[in-house]
A = this chain, B = another copy of it.
Amino acid sequence: MPNPTAAMLVIGDEILSGRTRDANMYHLAGKLTEAGIALEEVRVVSDDQPRIVAAVKALSEGFDYVFTSGGIGPTHDDITADAIGAAFDAAVDVREDARALLAAHYAKTGSELNEARLRMARIPEGATLIDNPVSVAPGFKLGNVHVMAGVPSVFNAMVESVLPTLTGGAPLLSETLRVDRGEGDLAGPLGELATAMPELSFGSYPFQKDGIYGSNIVVRGTDRAVLQAALAKLSEMLRL
């Protein structure tokens, strides 16, 4: 069985303007790899409804799972719920169970559940809520799209809420061989081995450190023993 596939949509001008360095993509990529789900595409788009709608539709059709990050807070630039609703032709309105979560939370903290905060209870019809143990305002899942917050601590918590609901495959393992030679010196044998073992994925990542040109050879697959055998074979071919 091939591993299930996934895509991520990061919604946020703060990444595109260079103000913030991505953290959520990196976090999700690691978690999905552990779960045996292959993250195959990420898109980052600005806070613009037509762009979000187009990306959600394309990714939802193309991959088993989609995860979004950002745009579900209380301010005017939080337009993700409406965009997801538009993508799925689902009405978006304040939902009673989400409102109750917020009401209980703000009663406890002494803040007012004002019109802005109530926006966080606006959920597209037919969605199921995603638990937010950090700041209560929920994410939601509609179709195969999981809509989560952009603040990394909240995003990470929502990922933990979602992971047990996903059907993963065999965990995607990797083994790395560091070779202190330039890529051009090992590309030949590496290419031969990659052709001979098409069930594995071989990547080569050059580095330069302390004046040394080297390469990290990373092999990926689902069977640790096979990965280790592949790298042993490569070492032999390179006479390491």
A120–B21 Cα distance when bound, in Å, is 30
Closest to A42 in B: B44
- Stretch in A81-89, A196-204, A228-236 touching the partner: A196-204
B-facing residues in A204-234 (Cβ within 8 Å): 204-208, 218, 220
A14 near B218: Cβ-Cβ < 8 Å: yes
Stretch at the interface among A111-119, A122-130, A139-147, A159-167: A111-119
Number of copies of this protein chain within its complex: 2
Interface size class of A (residues with CB under 8 A): 35 or more
Q: Which residue of B lies closest to A150 (CB)?
A: B205
Report if A13 contacts B (CB, 8 A).
Answer: yes
Instruction: Return the contact of A22 from the options B26, B114, B184, B186 (Cβ within 8 A).
Output: B26
**Cα A16 to Cα B27 with chains together (Å):** 10
Tell me which of A21, A40, A75 has the highest count of chain B C-beta atoms within 10 A of its own C-beta.
A75
Docked CA distance A115–B44 (Å) = 37
Q: Kindly list chain B residues whose C-beta atoms are within 8 Å of the C-beta of A119.
A: 187
Judging by beta carbons under 8 Å apart, are B187 and A75 in contact?
Answer: yes
With A76-B191, A77-B202 already in contact, the answer to whether A185 and B16 are too (CB < 8 A) is no
Q: Judge whether A188 and B116 touch: CB under 8 Å.
A: yes
Closest 5 CB pairs of A and B: A116-B187, A18-B30, A18-B29, A76-B191, A117-B184
